[in-house]
Amino acid sequence: MNAMVELGPEDSGCRSAPPVLTVQVEKDMEALVQRFLARKRGDLDRLRGALATDDFETMRRIGHDLKGSGEAFGFPELSGFGAEIERAATSSNGHALREQLTAVEQFLSHLRVTFR
Amino acid sequence: MDPVTLKNPEAKPSAPVQPVAPAPATSMRVALVEDDLSQAELLSHWLELAGHRCHQFDRGEELIRALDQESFDVVVLDWNLPDMSGVDVLKRIRSSRQASVPIVFVTARNREDDVVTALRQGADDYMVKPVRRLELLARLETLARRGKHRVEQPEVLEVGVYRVDTQTRTVTRNERAVDLTAKDFDLSVLFLRNIGRLLSRGHIRESVWGPNAVVTSRTLDTHVSRIRNKLGLTPEHGWRLAAVYRYGYRLEQLDGPQPRPTQPVV
């Protein structure tokens, strides 16, 4: 999939605004990408729940799926987060998992997808 | 900052995407075993855009059950499934009536020993996620080309006394044209391209009538019977177009013409 990624201020007139990551995806992928991102937002809730109960196996599975699918949808960063989550969950590293959870939350909240 | 706007994100998937450039001659019937819904949708989308027909299964057992009645040109298999591992699915396929179907692992497991295990257990190829669209399609087409079922089909096929020209849509037997309807022609081509291969009724129906056609078993049987007679696909001519109970048909080329069965003396 061809995706254009651009990182910069959301509004050029407001330099203090947090950066926005813009990803451009082909129009025919719009529905698929929207469903994918919605599911990944849902996975964040599952991750939080699993983290609260030290359910490392659930976290490992979520990380594994994210690792396998993020880049294919045009978001290689998500694949990277997924790999880190899987690794941290495999070694039961709660601290690293919290860091990765925060990183994914930030990524998704700063993400803007446009379709061409 | 505005978050990404999601328009009805939990909406049902849209209708299957029409292939950009339908290519029936290169169309494969693909079984996709993948429990990650997003991944399954994406791979299915890619396959359908390329003109292939994709059947999704999110459990290994679902595919195993389907193989009792269905045949596929290739199986795309994830390793981590909710009910069993992909390797277990692979072993079950290899002991089924579809034992020779090409199988490609598509998994996020990237350890060398995983790759080796899958290949040694009989996988034909192994791809590590995230996969790339064109590479996936190329690998699947390569596998199908290597198998008995050639995906990229020549325009003229010559098998024994039969000559099939897919350009003019004609079949000759011993250099004499055989009068066939359009569907009978498609059915003849399907069998002659898949000699020795057991094809399920669903596979035949989808290949000849299309994925959305409603075709009764009786209609299918009638067409098969007709091409059996018109093409002489019978033991006395060195062929057998055999029905497999509750499954489908297989065209077999016999060692030579077989004697016509004698009528029982009453």
SS (H, E, C) B179-248: CCCHHHHHHHHHHHHCCCCEEEHHHHHHHHHCCCCCCCHHHHHHHHHHHHHHHCCCHHHCEEEEEECCCE
Percent of chain B surpassing pLDDT 90: 69
Say what the ipTM of the complex is: 0.80
Whether residue B231 sits in one domain with residue B162: yes
In which domain, by residue range, is B44 found?
A: 24-146
| Whole-number Å distance between alpha carbons of B73 and B28 | 6
Chain B interface residues (partner A, CB cutoff 8 A): 1-4, 6-7, 9-11, 13-14, 17, 36-39, 41-42, 45, 49, 80, 107-108, 129-133
Interface contacts A/B by beta carbons within 8 Å: 81
Residue A109 with chain B: CB contacts under 8 Å: 1, 3
Q: What are the tens digits of pLDDT across the range B29-69?
A: 999 999 999 999 999 999 999 999 999 999 999 999 999 88
Residue A55 resides in a domain: yes
CA distance A30 to chain B (A): 10
Strands in chain B per DSSP E: 29-33, 53-57, 74-77, 103-107, 125-128, 156-159, 162-165, 170-173, 176-178, 198-200, 239-244, 248-253
Residue A24 resides in a domain: no
CA distance B200 to chain A (A): 31
Whole-prediction pTM value? 0.73
Residue B6 resides in a domain: no
CATH of the domain at B180: 1.10.10.10
Cβ proximity of B55 and B184 under 8 Å: no
In which domain, by residue range, is A43 found?
A: 37-116
What is the count of structural domains for chain A? 1
Residue A15 resides in a domain: no
Q: What are the tens digits of pLDDT across the range B102-160?
A: 999 999 999 999 999 999 999 999 999 999 999 999 999 888 877 655 445 667 888 88
Is A55 part of the contact surface with chain B (CB cutoff 8 Å)? no
Residue A8 resides in a domain: no
Q: Which member of B13, B14, B42 has the closest CB to residue A73?
A: B42
Cβ proximity of B164 and B156 under 8 Å: yes
Q: Which member of A1, A29, A111 has the closest CB to residue B4?
A: A111
Whether residue B94 sits in one domain with residue B179: no
User: Dihedral of CA A71/A73/A74/A78: which sign?
Assistant: negative
Cβ neighbours, 10 Å, residue B212: 7
- Please report which helix (H) or strand (E) contains residue A33, including its range: helix A30-52
| pLDDT for the residue numbered B172 | 94
